[in-house]
């Protein structure tokens, strides 16, 4: 396991920057970086501006200048910096694309491997990786498909139920599916695995599955789905007879929760909770308010952070703060959500952050982080810390910007460590610097390990 001090890493990075500028004069270097990846769409090539110190915003110059935010705090929040000293550790590396994770036992994670459809157990204390757990479902792993998210039942200690999402083949194409199985006592297999929900209609494509799941306080599941990306199928995000581009609310048996907002609407699917979404890969409940927050990919720019209100329409693909990949405006450039009858995002990013999994910091191990939101960034490659006050975003910080990793999911452990898994197969642990760890805070040549 590779361990290094965050403060020493930042000091070293700053020193290298100063020496480079001194050697090269006063040029303005640009960190344009290609993100060659099968995850196309918002995760494609982006421009990274490394010199972010000329602006109070944590972001570089906006890519889309045609739009104005609906309110001042909706984008480009001021840059903030963590004051506490942090230890950063690479717990494991050399894995497959690691897509979802859950702490099922103290410092032990269930981690999905997207492309190989494997479920592994990772021990955060010693970095050990189990053999693949048997009994995982067959998946379609083309494009953005594969084995996606994982979570455990609220009564896992008794039931040992594990829930997973994945891309499943049907006759007419693929769907986002939810299944469940029982983790055996020896932790070697999933028993009696069954599919409980399929987000139909099926579509013959390999993009935008969504696929995050989370339990609410009544032991029911929220599931997010993508709108499958292509035009015209993406229009179905607006249709209440399709489970594409939706937040879905189901029981542990895959049935619609009986309090869902469209349960009495004969023309709507009972499981729909909200609609008009593009591709949601991050979901969590705010620790104080209990509100359900999601983060979803925009097209070019326009990634959104939303608070989910039951029955509400979030506007995609009618409105957006982003633009098409061709550079064309979306729907003639309508960005104002509320004026069109849609919910305005709490926040949006321009340029893109390609946001994936996220987690609120519900712990006191690092007091200044309490109730902040941490989001994995795919392109550019960093973790985003979002500071929130009264549902407004008042600050942003970029973490692990030098690692060159696509951070796919974020989790906060019981003891307050921030865990991040990556498409490159690495697992990072960020924790408050502890006493007696200075001897481990050494410079390494493999900080960018995959």
Task: Report the catalytic residues.
Answer: 208
Please list, residue by residue across 23-61, b when 16 or more beta carbons sit within 10 angstroms of its beta carbon and e when fewer do: eeeeeeeeeeeebebebebbbbebebbeeeeeeeebbbe
Tell me if 245 sits within 8 A of 225, measured CB to CB.
yes
Tell me if 392 sits within 8 A of 82, measured CB to CB.
no
DSSP state of 79: B
| pLDDT on residue 53 | 38
pTM for the full model?
A: 0.87
What would the pLDDT profile of 81-105 be if each residue is shown by its tens digit? 999 999 999 999 999 999 999 999 9
Cα-Cα end-to-end distance for the chain: 13
Task: Please state whether the peptide bond connecting residue 232 to the residue before it is cis, i.e. omega within 30 degrees of 0.
Answer: yes
Q: What's the rounded Cα separation, in Å, for the pair 267 and 277?
A: 19
| pLDDT on residue 3 | 66
**Which residue in this structure is represented by tokens 């499981």?**
271
Q: What's the rounded Cα separation, in Å, for the pair 155 and 447?
A: 38
Q: What are the sequence ranges of the domains in the chain? A: 2-25+33-434
Average pLDDT score, the chain: 88
Q: What's the rounded Cα separation, in Å, for the pair 389 and 250?
A: 31
Tell me if 139 sits within 8 A of 167, measured CB to CB.
yes
**Which residue in this structure is represented by tokens 């599931």?**
223
What would the pLDDT profile of 271-326 be if each residue is shown by its tens digit? 999 999 999 999 999 999 999 999 999 999 999 999 999 999 999 999 999 999 99
The counts of H helices and E strands in the chain are 2, 26
Q: What is the band of 154 on the pLDDT scale with cuts at 50, 70, 90? A: very high
Could you tell me the two tokens for 243?
A: 């489970």
| pLDDT on residue 62 | 84
Q: Which fold has domain 2-25+33-434?
A: Neuraminidase (2.120.10)
Task: Report CA Rg, the chain.
Answer: 21
DSSP state of 125: T
Q: What is the band of 445 on the pLDDT scale with cuts at 50, 70, 90? A: very low
What is the mean pLDDT of the segment spanning 124-141? 98
Closest CA to 284 of 398, 376, 157: 376
Q: What is the band of 27 on the pLDDT scale with cuts at 50, 70, 90? A: very low
DSSP state of 204: S
């Amino acid at each position: 396991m590779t361990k290094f001090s965050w403060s020493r890493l930042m000091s070293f990075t700053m020193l290298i920057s100063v020496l480079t500028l001194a050697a090269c004069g006063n040029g303005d270097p640009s960190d344009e970086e290609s993100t060659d990846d099968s995850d196309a769409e918002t995760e494609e090539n982006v421009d990274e501006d490394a010199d972010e110190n000329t602006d109070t915003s944590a972001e570089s110059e906006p890519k889309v200048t045609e739009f104005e935010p609906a309110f001042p705090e909706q984008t480009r929040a001021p840059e903030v910096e963590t004051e506490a000293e942090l230890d950063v550790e690479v717990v494991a590396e050399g894995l497959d694309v690691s897509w979802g994770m859950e702490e099922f036992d103290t410092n032990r994670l269930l981690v999905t491997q997207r492309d190989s459809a494997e479920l592994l157990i990772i021990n955060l204390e010693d970095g050990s990786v189990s053999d693949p757990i048997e009994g995982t479902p067959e998946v379609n792993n083309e494009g953005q498909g594969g084995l996606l998210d994982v979570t455990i039942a609220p009564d896992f200690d008794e039931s040992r139920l594990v829930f997973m999402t994945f891309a499943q083949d049907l006759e007419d194409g693929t769907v986002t599916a939810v299944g469940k199985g029982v983790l055996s006592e020896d932790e070697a297999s999933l028993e009696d695995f069954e599919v409980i929900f399929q987000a139909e209609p099926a579509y013959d494509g390999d993009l935008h599955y969504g696929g995050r799941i989370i339990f609410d306080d009544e032991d029911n599941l929220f599931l997010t789905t993508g709108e499958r990306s292509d035009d015209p199928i993406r229009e179905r995000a607006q249709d209440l007879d399709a489970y594409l581009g939706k937040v879905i609310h189901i029981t542990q048996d895959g049935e619609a929760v009986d309090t869902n907002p469209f349960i009495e609407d004969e023309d709507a699917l009972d499981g729909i909770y909200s609609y008009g979404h593009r591709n949601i890969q991050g979901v969590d409940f705010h620790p104080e308010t209990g509100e359900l927050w999601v983060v979803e990919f925009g097209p070019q720019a326009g990634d959104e952070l939303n608070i989910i209100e039951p029955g509400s329409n979030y506007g995609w693909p009618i409105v957006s703060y982003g633009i098409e990949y061709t550079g064309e405006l979306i729907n003639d450039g309508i960005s104002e959500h509320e004026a069109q009858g849609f919910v305005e995002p709490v926040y949006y990013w321009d340029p893109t952050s390609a946001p994936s999994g996220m987690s609120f910091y519900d712990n006191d191990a690092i007091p200044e982080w309490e109730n902040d939101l941490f989001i994995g960034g795919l392109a550019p490659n960093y973790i985003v810390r979002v500071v929130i006050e009264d549902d407004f975003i008042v600050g942003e910080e970029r973490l692990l910007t030098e690692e060159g990793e696509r951070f796919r999911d974020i989790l906060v452990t019981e003891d307050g460590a921030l865990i991040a898994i990556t498409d490159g197969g690495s697992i990072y642990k960020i924790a408050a610097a502890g006493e007696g760890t200075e001897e481990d805070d050494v410079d390494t040549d493999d900080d960018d390990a995959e």
